Amino acid sequence: MPESRKVQITGGSTYIVSLPKSWVKEKEIEAGDSLVLSQRKDGSIIVNPEREYEKKANHRVVDITDKDQESLIRELIGIYIAGYTKIELKAKDEIKSELRRTIMEFTRMVIGPEVIQESEKRIILKDMIDPSEFSQRKGLRRMYLIVKKMHEDAVKTLKTGNMELARDVIERDGDIDRLYWMITKHYNMLQANPRLIESMQISKERSLSYMLVSRAMERIGDHAVRIAENSKKLKEGFDGELVKDIEEKSELALEILDESAEAYFEEDLSQANHAIEMKEELAEMDASLIKKIKEKDKENVTPLSYILESLSRTGSYATDISEISINYMMTK
């Protein structure tokens, strides 16, 4: 139940208020301990023992005795995204060789964690990335550049038939995943430890928007991969006129992505709205293109239809970025 406490003044300039005794005992607070005061948007203040943030944000212990490789990799990624900076993996007996390989694979899949201790029964990973140095903003800008190039190269395979380029697009999806996980991890770290707001020089609202935009970028990357995969399925004799039409649709989808990304980074409300309006033009191209594909290249209807769908989804996720931009700007 809420309690009322009177504010007192000591020393003529310091305002103090007493803490409920039951709460102090429950949290095991002693004289000299530090408390973290976090001010919320509505003006209220949350009080928590400093050590609770340290315990919550830092260390996670996992017993991997009965784990299989697939469940372990999923769990490690989940722990990483949750914001833990130290992961201790232990087994009752010697850690199986296949699980050691999985742990090493995990360190290559994500940004930051490295092995700092290793024995027969225990492996300790520590995140070596300082979130204030490798910021969400930097990670998101990098995502945008990679995703755009992936998309361009995926569409280029339609004209060139370069399957090596298609494979390269598919492999680069791992880079997008790494950045997306890192940006999400930083957001969760901020929620668990509000003290990071000062060191990261970012608000919770801005951090949330970075995470949401990175999710949209990750989806755009997935569709670049789908375009590359379906390009590999096309049969010989692909119609050149259709390539030109698909390239035009691709250029429009990328234009929406460029406009949305610039609107987000520059906080340009007008540009964000313009990007959203461009989505209608992209949708109008679908019906005529599908009809032309059925008339000119029946053998490739299925992969070409999937490519057109991915182009449409790229434009759709790009406009999602503009909508996130507008929503964020309205909180300021």
Q: Write the CA distances from 107 to 113, 116, 122, 172, 233, integer angstroms.
A: 6, 12, 16, 17, 33
Round to whole Å and give the CA distance between 187 and 129.
14
Residues 6+ apart with CB under 8 A from 54: none
Q: Please tell me the predicted confidence (pLDDT) of residue 193.
A: 77
Helix 50-58 to helix 163-192 angle (10° resolution) is: 160
State whether residue 142 is helix, strand or coil.
Answer: helix
Q: Confirm whether 56-127 and 136-329 share one CATH topology.
A: no
**CATH architecture classification, 136-329:** Up-down Bundle (1.20)
- Tell me which DSSP letter residue 237 carries: S
Domain range list for the chain: 8-47, 56-127, 136-329
Which residues of the chain fall short of a pLDDT of 50? Answer: none
C-alpha 96/C-alpha 120 separation (Å) is 9
CATH no. for 56-127: 3.30.110
pLDDT at 41: 57
As a dihedral over the C-alpha atoms of residue 211, residue 212, residue 218, residue 220, rounded to 10 degrees, the angle is -150
CA 172 to chain centre: 15
Other Cβ atoms within 10 Å of 217 Cβ, number: 28
